[in-house]
Amino acid sequence: MAYENIIFEVAEGIATITFNRPKALNALNGDLLDEMADALDKIEEDEDIRVLVLTGSGDKSFVAGADITELATFNPLQAKLFARKGLQTIGRLQNLFIPVIAAVNGFALGGGSEMALASDFIYASENASFGLPEIKLGIIPGFGGTQRLPRLIGASMAKEMIYTGKLITAAEAEKIGMVNRVLAPDALMDETMKTAREIAAKGKVSLRAAKQAINSGLNVDINTGCQIETDSFAICMASVDGKEGTRAFIEKRKADFKGTLKD
Closest to ligand DAK by CB, 24 vs 196, is: 24
Query: What character string, x for contact with ligand DAK (CB under 6 A) and - otherwise, covers 50-69?
Result: --------------xxxxxx
Q: How far is the CB of 172 from ligand DAK (least distance, A)?
A: 16
Instruction: Establish whether 114 is a catalytic residue.
Output: yes
Size, binding site for ligand DAK by CB under 6 A: 22
* Triad 101, 3, 104: Cα angle to 5°: 25
Residue 179 near ligand DAK by CB under 6 A = no
Signed CA dihedral, 241, 93, 124, 215: sign only:
negative
Question: At CB < 8 A and 24+ separation, what contacts does 168-176 make?
Answer: 168/129, 168/130, 168/131, 169/128, 169/129, 170/104, 170/124, 170/125, 170/126, 170/127, 170/128, 170/129, 170/130, 171/126, 173/122, 173/124, 173/128, 173/130, 174/124
Q: Which stretch binds ligand DAK (CB under 6 A): 23-31, 168-176, 186-194, 210-218?
A: 23-31
Instruction: Establish whether 198 is a catalytic residue.
Output: no
Q: How far is the CB of 137 from ligand DAK (least distance, A)?
A: 6
Residue 86 near ligand DAK by CB under 6 A = yes
Signed CA dihedral, 197, 2, 85, 32: sign only:
positive
Which is catalytic among the residues 4, 9, 134, 251?
134
The Cα-based distances of 109 to 31, 189, 223 in angstroms read 19, 20, 36
Which is catalytic among the residues 4, 9, 47, 114?
114
Radius of gyration of the chain (CA): 19
Query: What character string, x for contact with ligand DAK (CB under 6 A) and - otherwise, covers 181-220?
Result: ----------------------------------------
Residues that bind ligand DAK (CB under 6 A): 24-25, 27, 64-69, 83, 86-87, 107, 109-111, 133-134, 137, 139, 142-143
